[in-house]
Amino acid sequence: MALTEINFDGIVGPTHNYAGLSLGNLAATSNAGRTSHPRAAALQGIAKMRANLALGLAQGIFLPHRRPDDAWLDALGTHAQDADTGLLANALSASPMWAANAATISPAPDTADGRCHLTVANLVTMPHRSHEWQGTLAQLRLAFADTGHFAVHGPIPAPFGDEGAANHMRLATSHAAPGVEIFVYGEKGGAFPARQHVEASRAVARLHGLDPARTLFVAQSQDAIAAGAFHNDVVAVANGHVLFTHEQAFADRHGFYADLRRIMPDVEIVEVPAARISLADAIRSYLFNAQLVTLPTGESALILPTEARDTPAVWRWLQDMIAGNGPIRRIELVDVRESMSNGGGPACLRLRVVADPATVDPRFLVDNPRLDAIADIVSRHWPEAITPADLSSPALWEQAVHARAELLAMLDLRELI
């Protein structure tokens, strides 16, 4: 079968909660202390996957990690029972759901050895995310074990922060054609941490064997980071030959667009002016944290969170775009509110891998019957609600470990336990 884009969504884990751990992520910090609904959150994610299947797209999954992360607490010389509340919250985060931060992917047509390269993201900037890579790497090594087609790399060493695909874009005339890979990094300074360091981006490009003539390193604008764009995928998204971006996403947009047009003359840049949609509205609505996908018909579609409809300036702009002659012809809305309240939109929840599905371990691919079986486990075992006080409850920790074990057993993935 030909190369195709597979979206791997992180299944929302049973400890999903609002602990406000992500400085610079305005949704997460403003919802700190709220009651979360892990069961509803996971079912929303499953409904999004079903909607993608209905559009004719290939769909995969990544599994929740073990929480609390006893191995991490152990390495810190403590245990869930006696860890302070801050460390415990960091050990309980369900943040692996945001699969866009799992790894950076360079599809086979872009790499020197003709294999798809994947580098697990080290996520070193945020403590609650810094212990994800081990659990992610274990899954990447299983899902992409076929070394004839895939090369899986370990994390870039600290202190060079790497946030994975959330700060990486690929443009190509078709999924199977050589692409232009764009690494978007944050400059140091500003009110909030810049999580993607250029040193990490350059290392990933070297490890993947990318052609320097088709690889760009682009700085995020300080304004975007200061407005809460802790990842580039909150202000820009690319697919096929379309770049959809906010006017203020990049430090030097004219230089970037010129470089891009030189490498890819037929690129279509859909730029949203700040005069139509402010950075604040773009970030509130997650307009750019959409999944920009190519449908089997060849049409481009934008899969948006319902917050885009609820933000008047954004909805007006989208209506105008659809009525016009642009390359994005269709919009679809999905409800992922529980994840959105932690700053994770539709695009954060998925990792795109361009590959032949026949080369991927089938346990990581889903159709509707498999999603039914996952939804059944979620409905029976995921907590309905978690309050801040619940985080120190041994009963919650036990339920979380048991719920995940049930899911892994059903999916025949016990080796991840």
Ramachandran sector of residue 67 (left: φ over 0; alpha: ψ -120 to 50; beta: rest): beta
Neighbours of 84 (CB within 10 A): 8
- What lies within 8 Å, CB to CB, of 352 at 6+ separation is 5, 6, 7, 8, 105, 165
- Which of 10, 13, 20, 161 is in the footprint of ligand SUG by CB under 6 A? 20
Q: Does 166 bind ligand SUG (CB under 6 A)?
A: yes
Q: Please tell me whether residue 21 binds ligand SUG under the rule CB under 6 A.
A: yes
Site for ligand SUG in 343-372 (CB under 6 A): 343-344, 348
122 forms part of the interface with ligand SUG (CB under 6 A): no
Q: Map residues 56-95 to x or -, x wherever contact with ligand SUG holds by CB under 6 A.
A: -------------------------------------x-x
| 381 a catalytic residue | no
Shortest distance, position 114 Cβ to ligand SUG, whole Å: 28
Q: Which two tokens stand for residue 84?
A: 């302070």
Quick check: 285 binds ligand SUG (CB under 6 A)?
no
Tell me if 196 sits within 8 A of 163, measured CB to CB.
Answer: yes
Catalytic-residue membership of 348: yes
Amino acid at 192: F
Q: Does 342 bind ligand SUG (CB under 6 A)?
A: yes
- Considering CB under 6 A, how many residues would be counted as binding ligand SUG? 22
Shorter beta-carbon distance to ligand SUG: residue 115 or 244 = 244
Stretch that binds ligand SUG, among 185-193, 196-204, 211-219, 227-235 (CB under 6 A): 227-235
Sheet holding 215-219, edge to edge: 168-171, 180-185, 215-219
Q: Residue 194, interface with ligand SUG (CB under 6 A)?
A: no
Tell me how far, at minimum, the Cβ of 322 lies from ligand SUG, in Å: 25
Q: Please, what is the minimum distance in Å from the beta carbon of residue 171 to ligand SUG?
A: 18
User: For ligand SUG, which stretch binds (CB under 6 A), given 6-14, 21-29, 102-110, 393-401?
Assistant: 21-29
Distance of alpha carbon 64 from alpha carbon 69, whole angstroms: 11
Determine whether 16 is an active site residue: no
> Under 8 Å CB-to-CB from 253, ≥6 apart: which residues?
245, 247, 271
Phi and psi (nearest 5°) for 270?
-100, 105
Handedness of CA 157, 162, 163, 166 (dihedral sign): negative
Contact (Cβ atoms closer than 8 angstroms) between residue 47 and residue 99: no
| 105: phi then psi, degrees, rounded to nearest 5 | -115, 130
**Nearer Cβ to ligand SUG, position 111 or 341?**
341
Question: Which residues make up the interface to ligand SUG (CB under 6 A)?
Answer: 19-22, 25, 28, 93, 95, 98, 100-101, 126, 129, 166, 230-231, 233-234, 342-344, 348
Catalytic amino acids? 163, 231, 348
